[in-house]
Amino acid sequence: MNIVVCVKQVPEISEVKVNPETGTLVREGVASILNPFCEYALDHALRIKQATPDVNITAISMGPPQARAALLRALELGADRGVLVSDRRFAGADTWATALTLAAAVRAVREDFDLILVGKQAIDGDTAQVGPEMAEILGIPQIMYGVRMELTPNGKRLRVKRESENGYQVLEARLPVLVSASKGEAIRRLPSFADILAARQKPLEMITADALNLSEEQLGLQGSYTQVVKIFPPQAKKACRKLEGLSPDQAGREITSFLSQENFI
């Protein structure tokens, strides 16, 4: 069985700042990490591998050369192979162009895939669009927000417990299928020293746009239907009134009085 896990390198969210003049993210000098939801996707892949013999996990990332660090982390966490999809022609890609490029990369490096796992979203963009778009491009079923995954006894279908607005659903889909991973029971593993050393011996390769069956018009900014023109922090909220040192009865009376004065009740 061949599992492909698409991963992304993102800025450490606690250190993200916005340039007030250009309205763009300040990435210089900001530490980068492997997207946490991608780590959850890797954890789901490893759980399947532990329960099923002969499973191979390929981690794929689209990004600049420094994104190799995210793939190295994926190898430390248990992936068997890393593939970096990197080319200046990918610059400016929106979610559609990114999904199209990643789908072409999956076909190029692991055409015989059985399962594609992605994080439900990246913590920098939070769009949650690339995974579903990849499934549509590849023409395979998709299940979003999976928190538990297992193969059925015949090994031809995947059973997924997924989050929904009203609780959970359990769905099955015939392989190949794409699933986006939520946290669920997954954990962000800490690789051992042996895992770190072993990762340096695993294959980590890079492919460019020339390896993909795509035209120049489908790549990067040219192939994008949307463009982010500005990013800005939310406006500061108005000052609030804080109640401290009151009993529940006193706090209730104060809140009721405030709501009455403001014509909420």
Taking each helix axis from N to C end, the angle separating 68-76 and 36-51, rounded to the nearest 10 degrees, works out to 40
Token pair for 260: 């009455």
What does the pLDDT look like over 21-70, one tens digit per residue?
655 566 666 678 999 999 999 999 999 999 988 999 999 999 999 999 99
Q: Is the pLDDT of residue 257 over 80?
A: yes
CA 169 vs CA 15, 115, 147, 148, 159: distances in Å: 36, 20, 10, 11, 10
pLDDT of residue 148: 94
Confidence at residue 21, expressed as pLDDT on a 0 to 100 scale: 65
Separation of alpha carbons 87 and 18, rounded Å: 26
Place of tokens 């920098």: 124
pLDDT above 90 for 173:
yes
Average pLDDT of the chain to the nearest whole number: 89
pLDDT band of residue 170 (cuts 50, 70, 90) is very high
How confident is residue 80, by pLDDT bands cut at 50, 70 and 90?
A: very high
The two structure tokens encoding residue 92: 């400016």
Q: Where are the alpha helices (DSSP H) in 52-119?
A: 68-76, 95-109
Structure tokens at 8: 């992304």
Strand runs labelled E in the chain = 2-7, 9-11, 17-18, 25-26, 32-34, 56-62, 81-85, 115-119, 142-151, 157-164, 167-174, 177-181, 204-207
Query: What is the per-residue pLDDT across 99-157, written as a single tens digit (0 to 9) for each?
Result: 999 999 999 999 999 999 999 998 887 889 999 999 999 999 999 999 999 999 988 99
Q: Are 48 and 78 in contact (CB under 8 A)?
A: no
Question: In order of start, what are the domains of the chain with their CATH numbers?
Answer: 2-218 (3.40.50.620)
How does pLDDT run across 240-249, given as a tens digit for each residue? 778 888 999 9
Which amino acid makes up residue 38?
C
